[in-house]
Amino acid sequence: MIYFFYINYYLIYVVNKRSKKIGTRVSLNVKQRKALLSKLSSIVEDVSLLVHKKASVEKLILDEKRILYFSDGVAVAVQVGDIIVPFLKRLRNIKVICPFVIVDVGAIRFITNGADVMRPGITKINGEFKEGDIVLVREEKAGSPLAFGVSMFSSEELISIKKGKVIKNIHHLRDDFWDMAE
């Protein structure tokens, strides 16, 4: 998909080939940039691998709840509501330090289609977290990241739960952000 950028009073409107407005792209000031890096530093070990010190950082405002962040034109983070997580496509060589769960092969299809993580699909819980914390979801064979979610229970409670939704999916492979980031 090709996107065209039109400059209008320092705002860049992102428009697809059919002239449908997707969002507004705006540069971040120093304070906003520091806030973004601070939130990302609680999830990844070395934020400079995502956003270089002298790189320009912009945000693409899609709607009231969804924002895509770019560093020198490359998507680096996703915001849904107040939650900011790294863009999954950029995590290949970056060490993630937030807690994670591992899911079985049967859960992959559902999670990558946007479903919340169900307790029966989780095979391992790694790290401690509270209700409302960001959790990375990985697949069990290679440990590849599938999604970021928000825990609906603490890690201690999660061990004793046997069924139901336990992690709310906020960003997953091939979601709406995926195509816009190219």
69-120 tens-digit pLDDT: 999 989 999 999 999 999 999 988 899 999 999 999 999 999 999 999 999 9
Average pLDDT over residues 132-152: 96
Beta strands in the chain (DSSP E): 4-8, 11-15, 21-27, 57-61, 66-71, 74-80, 83-86, 100-103, 117-118, 122-126, 134-139, 145-151, 165-172
According to the model, what pLDDT value does residue 180 have?
Answer: 76
Burial of 173 (0-12, 13-18, 19+ CB in 10 A): middle
Percent of the chain with pLDDT over 90: 75
Q: What is the pLDDT of residue 85?
A: 97
**Do 73 and 104 fall into the same domain?**
no
Say how far apart CA 84 and CA 116 lie, in whole Å.
18
Q: What pTM, to 2 d.p., does this model score?
A: 0.86
pLDDT on residue 20: 57
Residue 78 lies in a domain: yes
DSSP H/E element including 31: helix 30-41
Question: Does one domain contain both 87 and 110?
Answer: no
Instruction: Tell me: do 119 and 169 sit in the same domain.
Output: yes
Same domain, 71 and 120: no
Is pLDDT at 141 greater than 50 in this prediction? Answer: yes
> Could you tell me the residue range of the domain that residue 46 belongs to?
4-91
Q: What is the CATH number of the domain that holds 65?
A: 3.10.450.120
- Find the radius of gyration of the CA atoms of the chain: 17
Specify the higher pLDDT residue, 132 or 63. 132
Instruction: Supply the CATH number for residue 146's domain.
Output: 2.30.130.10
In this structure, are 120 and 145 located in the same domain?
yes
Cα separation of 171 and 75, whole Å? Answer: 13
On whether residue 180 sits in a domain, the answer given is: no
**Residue 165 above 90 pLDDT?**
yes
Residues 69 and 9 in one domain: yes
Place of tokens 């939130």: 39
Which regions of 16-115 does DSSP assign to beta strands (E)? 21-27, 57-61, 66-71, 74-80, 83-86, 100-103
> Which pair of tokens denotes residue 65?
């709840």
29 and 106 part of one domain: no
Number of structural domains in the chain: 2
Lowest mean pLDDT among 11-15, 91-95, 137-141: 11-15
Cβ-based neighbour number of residue 26 at 10 Å: 15
Average pLDDT value for the chain: 88
42 lies in a domain? yes
Are residues 85 and 104 part of one domain?
A: no
Q: Is the pLDDT of residue 37 over 70?
A: yes
Q: Could you tell me if residue 181 is inside a domain?
A: no
**Residue 32 counted as domain residue:** yes
**Residue 23: what pLDDT?**
79
Boundary residue ending a domain (48, 73, 91): 91
Mean pLDDT, range 29-34, rounded to an integer? 94
Domain assignment present for 61? yes
User: Does the pLDDT value for residue 65 go beyond 60?
Assistant: yes
